[in-house]
Amino acid sequence: MQELIIHEVGPRDGLQVEKQPVPFEHKVAWVESLGAAGVDIIQLGSFVNPEKVPQMADTDRLFAHFSAPGKRPGKAVLSGLVLNERGLERGMACGVEMFCMGVSASETHSRKNTGMSPHEALARIIPMATQAMAAGKKVQVSVQSAFGCGFEGPIPTDRVLGLVKQYLAAGVSAISLADTAGHANPMQVEELFGAIRALDPNVEMTAHFHNTYGLGLANCWAALRSGVRSLESAFGGLGGCPFTKQPAGNVSTEDLVHSLQRMGLRRDIDLGKLLEVARAVGAFFGRELPGFVLKSGSIVDYKPAGN
């Protein structure tokens, strides 16, 4: 399963709820180490209003820095989250290689997150995705709150699939389901991704889980069993959507990679370097991070296969 993609979202989703500002130089150092570890995609930030999410105020500068000759972090693709046309414009100008954009399946979460209904957001996201693809950019669209919402509870499957069908009809085949509230369970994960695969067997499926109720890694495995080939995670297990009812951290990147490597997968990634990043981030914030391997230690060899 070498083709399994690890999409590190720590610099964006991991940091966006943190109140203590992270200096630009620290972010650069952490991203450089993530690239050296061998993750496939790094989400440097989101193009949002810095008054609402101050931690993302230097997103344009980060992309400009890592887009400069000789500055790329390893072989990683540089991804960024955009919510509107202005964000897309900013991303185009500073070197985003992969645009991530999406619509919440929850009316309440959608309005808190974007100020729009899901229908209104979709009417803007699809033209944005089409524009970015026409410019030669990678595009991944998502359905947020796909497995449940802290405000509304269960989300009907038909509502999620309805959004997916509209993405597919628009020619966007890279689709992520985001468990924004952390409500997913493995059986639900297999059923929902299975339903998407039935719509289009060639769809490129990504999963994004939060560990609110401790099922993050179990849900990752269920997603892999369902044909998902890209997983999003964050260093140290940091993160959470500031506009959901109960923000909680992402699946920890080092926990995810440790689990995969115990099964003989992605042994090319340097787990030791990932743990170094998590330690540095924890030291900066002055607290213990949620990641488990960071506390318990690894039972797999740190050294990447082939080195």
Q: For the chain of 307 residues, list the mean pLDDT of each consecutive stretch of 10.
A: 86 93 98 98 96 94 97 97 96 98 88 84 95 98 93 92 97 96 96 97 96 95 96 92 61 97 94 97 95 92 66
Q: What is the pLDDT of residue 14?
A: 94
Question: How far does the chain reach from its first CA to its final CA, in angstroms?
Answer: 19
What residue numbers bound the domain in which 32 lies? Answer: 5-296
Cβ-Cβ contacts under 8 Å for 76 (sequence gap 6 or more): 8, 34, 35, 39, 40, 41, 42
Q: Domain for residue 306, yes or no? A: no
Q: Domain for residue 305, yes or no? A: no
Give this prediction's pTM: 0.94
Domain CATH for 279: 3.20.20.70
CA 150/CA 242 separation, integer angstroms: 12
Q: Domain for residue 304, yes or no? A: no
Backbone angles phi, psi at 177, to 5 degrees: -105, 125
The single-letter DSSP state of residue 11 is: I
Choose among 214, 110, 113, 215: nearest CA to 152: 110
Q: What is the pLDDT of residue 248?
A: 62
Catalytic residue of the set 94, 100, 220, 241: 241
100 belongs to the catalytic site: no
Q: What is the pLDDT of residue 243?
A: 53
Q: Domain for residue 237, yes or no? A: yes
